[in-house]
Amino acid sequence: MTHAYEMPIDERLRHCGLRPTRQRVALADLLFAKGDRHLTVEELHEEAVTAGVPVSLATVYNTLHQFTEAGLIRVLAVESAKTYFDTNVSDHHHFFVEGENHVLDIPVSNIEIGNLPEPPEGMEIAHVDVIIRLRPRKA
Protein backbone atom coordinates (compact mmCIF):
# COMPACT_ATOMS: atom_id res chain seq x y z
CA MET A 1 0.00 0.00 0.00
CA THR A 2 1.27 3.48 -0.85
CA HIS A 3 1.87 5.73 2.16
CA ALA A 4 -0.06 9.02 2.02
CA TYR A 5 3.19 11.02 1.91
CA GLU A 6 4.37 9.16 -1.19
CA MET A 7 1.27 10.18 -3.14
CA PRO A 8 1.04 13.19 -5.44
CA ILE A 9 -0.41 16.24 -3.66
CA ASP A 10 -3.86 16.02 -5.25
CA GLU A 11 -4.18 12.34 -4.27
CA ARG A 12 -2.88 13.08 -0.79
CA LEU A 13 -5.57 15.73 -0.33
CA ARG A 14 -8.30 13.38 -1.58
CA HIS A 15 -6.96 10.61 0.68
CA CYS A 16 -7.49 12.96 3.65
CA GLY A 17 -11.00 13.92 2.55
CA LEU A 18 -10.11 17.31 1.06
CA ARG A 19 -11.04 18.44 -2.43
CA PRO A 20 -7.84 19.32 -4.33
CA THR A 21 -8.68 22.89 -5.35
CA ARG A 22 -6.07 24.95 -7.23
CA GLN A 23 -5.27 26.96 -4.11
CA ARG A 24 -5.01 23.93 -1.80
CA VAL A 25 -2.73 22.13 -4.26
CA ALA A 26 -0.55 25.23 -4.74
CA LEU A 27 -0.23 25.81 -0.99
CA ALA A 28 0.45 22.12 -0.32
CA ASP A 29 3.15 22.12 -3.00
CA LEU A 30 4.83 25.09 -1.32
CA LEU A 31 4.38 23.63 2.14
CA PHE A 32 5.73 20.12 1.49
CA ALA A 33 8.27 20.75 -1.28
CA LYS A 34 11.09 21.59 1.13
CA GLY A 35 10.68 18.63 3.48
CA ASP A 36 9.97 18.88 7.19
CA ARG A 37 9.71 22.47 8.36
CA HIS A 38 7.81 24.91 10.54
CA LEU A 39 5.94 27.86 9.04
CA THR A 40 3.57 30.55 10.21
CA VAL A 41 0.54 31.59 8.18
CA GLU A 42 2.36 34.79 7.25
CA GLU A 43 5.48 32.96 6.09
CA LEU A 44 3.53 30.61 3.82
CA HIS A 45 1.52 33.55 2.47
CA GLU A 46 4.77 35.37 1.66
CA GLU A 47 6.09 32.27 -0.14
CA ALA A 48 2.83 32.02 -2.10
CA VAL A 49 2.97 35.67 -3.17
CA THR A 50 6.62 35.28 -4.20
CA ALA A 51 5.71 32.16 -6.21
CA GLY A 52 2.88 34.01 -7.94
CA VAL A 53 0.08 32.07 -6.24
CA PRO A 54 -2.94 34.40 -6.00
CA VAL A 55 -4.13 33.71 -2.46
CA SER A 56 -5.26 35.85 0.47
CA LEU A 57 -3.88 35.61 3.99
CA ALA A 58 -7.32 34.39 5.15
CA THR A 59 -7.25 31.57 2.59
CA VAL A 60 -3.79 30.48 3.76
CA TYR A 61 -5.03 30.53 7.38
CA ASN A 62 -8.13 28.50 6.55
CA THR A 63 -6.21 26.04 4.38
CA LEU A 64 -3.58 25.39 7.06
CA HIS A 65 -6.32 24.71 9.59
CA GLN A 66 -8.03 22.33 7.12
CA PHE A 67 -4.70 20.54 6.61
CA THR A 68 -4.34 20.29 10.40
CA GLU A 69 -7.83 18.81 10.80
CA ALA A 70 -7.03 16.33 8.02
CA GLY A 71 -3.82 15.24 9.80
CA LEU A 72 -1.45 16.51 7.10
CA ILE A 73 0.29 18.95 9.44
CA ARG A 74 0.19 19.78 13.12
CA VAL A 75 -0.11 23.00 15.06
CA LEU A 76 2.72 24.17 17.25
CA ALA A 77 1.66 27.02 19.53
CA VAL A 78 4.94 28.53 20.70
CA GLU A 79 3.73 31.94 21.82
CA SER A 80 0.23 33.31 22.26
CA ALA A 81 0.71 35.61 19.27
CA LYS A 82 2.48 33.13 16.97
CA THR A 83 1.46 29.69 15.76
CA TYR A 84 3.66 27.48 13.62
CA PHE A 85 2.46 24.69 11.37
CA ASP A 86 4.70 21.64 11.31
CA THR A 87 4.88 19.42 8.22
CA ASN A 88 6.40 16.63 10.32
CA VAL A 89 3.46 14.85 11.96
CA SER A 90 5.56 12.06 13.51
CA ASP A 91 6.17 12.09 17.27
CA HIS A 92 8.89 14.60 18.06
CA HIS A 93 9.52 17.68 20.18
CA HIS A 94 10.92 21.16 19.58
CA PHE A 95 13.48 23.76 20.49
CA PHE A 96 12.27 27.35 20.06
CA VAL A 97 15.00 29.99 19.71
CA GLU A 98 13.70 33.12 21.42
CA GLY A 99 14.38 36.38 19.63
CA GLU A 100 14.96 34.56 16.34
CA ASN A 101 11.52 32.90 16.21
CA HIS A 102 13.18 29.75 14.91
CA VAL A 103 11.88 26.22 15.59
CA LEU A 104 14.06 23.09 15.48
CA ASP A 105 12.99 19.45 15.73
CA ILE A 106 14.13 17.21 18.58
CA PRO A 107 13.82 13.46 17.94
CA VAL A 108 11.35 11.84 20.33
CA SER A 109 14.07 9.39 21.41
CA ASN A 110 16.09 12.28 22.90
CA ILE A 111 13.47 13.10 25.56
CA GLU A 112 12.06 10.77 28.18
CA ILE A 113 8.63 11.66 29.51
CA GLY A 114 7.37 9.94 32.62
CA ASN A 115 4.95 10.36 35.49
CA LEU A 116 2.15 11.82 33.41
CA PRO A 117 -1.08 12.27 35.35
CA GLU A 118 -4.00 9.97 34.66
CA PRO A 119 -6.40 11.67 32.26
CA PRO A 120 -9.96 12.32 33.45
CA GLU A 121 -12.45 9.46 33.07
CA GLY A 122 -13.40 8.81 29.47
CA MET A 123 -10.36 10.68 28.13
CA GLU A 124 -6.98 9.59 26.79
CA ILE A 125 -3.75 11.46 26.17
CA ALA A 126 -3.58 12.18 22.45
CA HIS A 127 -0.17 13.81 22.29
CA VAL A 128 2.49 15.39 24.48
CA ASP A 129 4.31 18.41 23.06
CA VAL A 130 7.60 19.46 24.63
CA ILE A 131 8.92 22.88 23.63
CA ILE A 132 12.31 23.81 25.03
CA ARG A 133 12.94 27.53 24.76
CA LEU A 134 16.50 28.61 23.96
CA ARG A 135 18.32 31.93 24.07
CA PRO A 136 21.98 32.90 23.63
CA ARG A 137 24.10 32.64 26.75
CA LYS A 138 24.81 35.94 28.45
CA ALA A 139 28.47 36.86 28.35
Query: Is residue 38 within 8 Å of residue 103, measured between CB atoms?
Result: yes
Q: Which domains does the chain have, with CATH numbers?
A: 4-86 (1.10.10.10), 92-134 (no CATH)
**What single-letter DSSP state applies at residue 19?**
-
Q: How confident is the model at residue 2 (pLDDT cuts 50, 70, 90)?
A: very low
User: Per residue in 83-122, pLDDT tens?
Assistant: 899 999 888 999 999 888 889 999 888 888 888 999 999 9
Q: How confident is the model at residue 16 (pLDDT cuts 50, 70, 90)?
A: very high
Q: Residue 90: what pLDDT?
A: 87
pTM score, two decimals?
0.79
Q: Residue 50: what pLDDT?
A: 96
- Which parts of the chain fold into alpha helices (H)? 9-15, 22-32, 41-50, 57-69
Give the number of other Cβ atoms within 10 Å of residue 129's Cβ.
Answer: 14
Helices 41-50 and 57-69 sit at what angle, rounded to 10 degrees? 120
Radius of gyration for the alpha carbons in the chain, expressed in angstroms and rounded: 17
User: Per residue in 21-67, pLDDT tens?
Assistant: 999 999 999 999 988 999 999 999 999 999 999 999 999 999 999 99
Q: Residue 5: what pLDDT?
A: 56
User: Per residue in 114-138, pLDDT tens?
Assistant: 889 999 999 999 888 889 999 988 8
Q: Residue 122: what pLDDT?
A: 96
